[in-house]
């Protein structure tokens, strides 16, 4: 009886081990993760600048329409889907980088090496944001922004809606709340609040 019981216990143990192994097995063709390092779980968004097209009829450093396929290098979203929030940056060679919001434009400029190895701050020739009222492009360094309003941007939080004039920004803030800021008042500390929790991607 003791021998039979031992055999039954041994068989049960083998079945339990087999079941455990099956639960941990990765089906053929499934992606495998070598470790649980959080960095292994990051997804790198490739959003290269879009070259200047001389046939467009636009000046090389003028703002241009957002191509549907353009992606924001900071978050990977498609700026063309939220045109009233979009921003763009143009390099000296005419290539343009598009962003889904003014916040992501500022985050990009704050630490360009985090997102590109091809350009530096010295290569930036112009940057533009969309006037939230008119939908027109306006130079980012001359725009006014509203921080802390109830307007939810593409990332479902405040994204500094932009305005060509302070008067327009103040009218918006009076209706939707928030504080009007000039471009120079968008500090690293403020951007850190928006940037908190985002992963770093190097290209």
Q: Tell me: the pLDDT tens digits for 108-167? A: 999 999 999 999 999 999 999 999 999 999 999 999 999 999 998 887 666 899 999 999
Percentage of the residues of the chain whose pLDDT score is greater than 70: 72
Q: pLDDT at position 89, please?
A: 98
Q: How far is CA 61 from CA 29, 83, 90, in A?
A: 47, 19, 6
Q: pLDDT at position 42, please?
A: 47
Nearest to 162 by CA among 105, 109, 102, 110: 102
Cβ(172)–Cβ(163) below 8 Å = yes
Alpha-carbon distance of 31 to 10, in angstroms, equals: 34
Res. 1 pLDDT band, cuts 50 70 90:
very low
Alpha-carbon distance of 11 to 199, in angstroms, equals: 48
Q: What sign does the dihedral 192-193-197-201 (CA atoms) show?
A: negative
Q: pLDDT at position 155, please?
A: 75
Cβ(153)–Cβ(101) below 8 Å = yes
Paired sense of beta strands 137-139 and 96-99, if any:
unpaired
Q: Which two tokens stand for residue 169?
A: 């920004």
Alpha-carbon distance of 127 to 131, in angstroms, equals: 13
Alpha-carbon distance of 161 to 145, in angstroms, equals: 6
Cβ(191)–Cβ(103) below 8 Å = yes
Alpha-carbon distance of 159 to 103, in angstroms, equals: 6
Domain boundaries, the chain: 2-34, 40-195
Looking from the CA of 96 toward its CB, the CA atoms found within 13 Å total 25
Question: Which is more confident, 192 or 123?
Answer: 123
Question: Which is more confident, 11 or 186?
Answer: 186
Res. 94 pLDDT band, cuts 50 70 90:
very high
Q: pLDDT at position 185, please?
A: 94
Q: pLDDT digit string (tens) for 36-48?
A: 343 344 445 679 9
Question: Which is more confident, 31 or 45?
Answer: 45
**Strand-pair partners of 179:** 147
Cβ(166)–Cβ(189) below 8 Å = no
């Amino acid at each position: 009886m003791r021998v039979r019981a031992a055999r039954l216990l041994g068989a049960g143990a083998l079945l339990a081990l087999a079941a455990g192994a099956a639960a941990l097995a990765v089906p053929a063709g499934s992606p495998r993760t070598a470790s649980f390092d959080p960095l292994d779980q990051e997804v790198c968004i490739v959003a290269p600048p879009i070259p200047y097209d001389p046939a467009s009829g636009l000046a090389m450093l003028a703002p241009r329409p957002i191509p549907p396929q353009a992606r924001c290098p900071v978050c990977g979203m498609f700026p063309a889907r939220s045109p009233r929030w979009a921003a763009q940056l143009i390099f000296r060679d005419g290539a343009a980088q598009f962003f889904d919001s003014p916040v992501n434009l500022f985050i990009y400029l704050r630490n360009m090496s985090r997102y590109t190895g091809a350009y530096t701050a010295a290569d930036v020739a112009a940057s533009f944001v969309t006037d939230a009222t008119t939908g027109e492009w306006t130079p980012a360094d001359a725009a006014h922004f509203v921080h802390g309003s109830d307007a939810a941007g593409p990332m479902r939080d405040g994204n500094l809606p932009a305005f060509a004039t302070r008067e327009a920004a103040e009218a918006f803030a009076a209706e939707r709340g928030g504080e009007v800021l000039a471009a120079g008042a968008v500090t690293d500390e403020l951007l850190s609040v928006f940037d908190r929790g985002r992963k770093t991607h190097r290209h």
